[in-house]
Chains A and B, each alone.
Chain A
Amino acid sequence: QVQLQESGPGLVKSSQTLSLTCTVSSGSISSGSVSSGTYYWSWIRQPAGKGLEWIGRIDKSGSTNYNPSLRSRVTISLDSSKNQFSLKLSSVTAADTAVYYCGRHFYDRSGYLTNDYWGQGTLVTVSS
């Protein structure tokens, strides 16, 4: 089954850019639409002791969707040659301190999210 692993700095200074990479194994990141649905590569974060916030997603063609609350600061990109996708979040503040998860979401042809795989998550702390 597909496996995902986040990597990147665990400490970022306030006002700088948070950069994380998700490496995908046992599955090609170029997998996109199949007869039964579509795969998306996503980022989700979770502040300590709090709920989950969807950051955005990218498909195999590089088409992206972002959370409007973060859109001005977020970039998600794909590197098929390395089987990786990445997250950049600019102008970070303490409010961006969270565990960041990468994931693969599968949507069936009716648009239901019916299956997903998540990385183990990586804690990013924003310091002043």
Chain B
Amino acid sequence: DIQMTQSPSSLSASVGDRVSITCRASQSISNYLNWYQQKPGKAPMLLIYAAFSLQSGVPSRFSGSGSGTDFTLTISSLRPEDFATYFCQQNYNTLLTFGGGTRVEIK
């Protein structure tokens, strides 16, 4: 299995802050990396695919970068609706694996 490690596991930030979340794969996955947002009681929602491509309808304040083993999700200016948990996911292998999640909380 490809292990995905996210950091931090949680962070506190204010509206308007720039926030970055990192994800590291246990082996190179090229850019087969997706980012999801999950709110309590809801299914995850795909934000970014192929490491940096924005899913249709997702605000441009979300961006992704990276390749190989190290990836970053950045929210340029945090809005109230962005407080949620974020997961990375590799789809390099048929066996999809996810990071442990980063909870973004209001400071």
Q: Is the CB of B87 within 8 A of A51?
A: yes
Tell me how far the C-beta of A119 lies from the nearest C-beta in chain B, rounded to whole angstroms: 7
How far is B87's CA from A116's CA once the two chains are assembled, in angstroms?
Answer: 15
Query: Given contacts A111-B32, A118-B43, are A52 and B98 in contact (CB under 8 A)?
Result: yes
Judge whether A112 and B95 touch: CB under 8 Å. Answer: no
Instruction: Please determine whether A54 and B44 come into contact, CB atoms closer than 8 angstroms.
Output: no
User: For the complex, is A41 an interface residue (Cβ under 8 Å from B)?
Assistant: no
Q: Given the complex of chains A and B, what is the CA–CA distance between A54 and B34 in angstroms?
A: 14
- The count of A-to-B residue pairs whose CB atoms sit within 8 angstroms is 50
Contact at B53–A114, with CB atoms within 8 Å? yes
Number of interface residues of B (CB under 8 A): 23
Instruction: Determine if B50 is an interface residue (Cβ-Cβ < 8 Å).
Output: yes
Could you say which of A112, A118, A120 contacts B32, with CB atoms under 8 Å apart?
A112
Q: Is the CB of B34 within 8 A of A113?
A: yes
Enumerate chain B residues within 8 angstroms of A121, measured Cβ to Cβ. Answer: 43
The secondary structure that dominates the B interface is: loop
User: Which residues 83-107 in B have Cβ within 8 Å of A in the complex?
Assistant: 87, 89, 91, 94-101
Question: How far, in angstroms, from A113 to B89 measured CA to CA in the complex?
Answer: 10
Chain B CB within 10 Å — which of A67, A103, A116 has the most? A116
Instruction: Say which residue of B44, B46, B89, B99 sits within 8 Å of A115 (CB atoms).
Output: B46
Do A68 and B43 form a contact, CB below 8 Å, given A51-B100, A114-B50?
A: no
Shortest Cβ distance from residue A50 to the other chain B in the assembled complex, whole angstroms? 8
Q: A65 and B43: CB pair below 8 A?
A: no
Pick the contact of B98: A51, A65, A116 (CB < 8 A): A51
A70 → chain B, closest Cβ, in Å?
A: 11
18 more CB-based (< 8 A) A-B contacts, given A54-B96, A67-B95, A121-B43: A51-B87, A51-B99, A51-B100, A53-B98, A54-B95, A65-B94, A68-B95, A101-B43, A103-B43, A107-B91, A112-B32, A113-B91, A114-B49, A114-B50, A114-B53, A115-B49, A116-B46, A118-B44
User: Could you name 9 residue pairs across A and B whose Cβ atoms are closer than 8 Å?
Assistant: A44-B96, A51-B98, A52-B44, A53-B98, A54-B95, A113-B96, A114-B53, A116-B46, A120-B42
Binding site for B on A (CB under 8 A): 44, 51-54, 57, 65, 67-68, 101, 103, 107, 111-116, 118-121
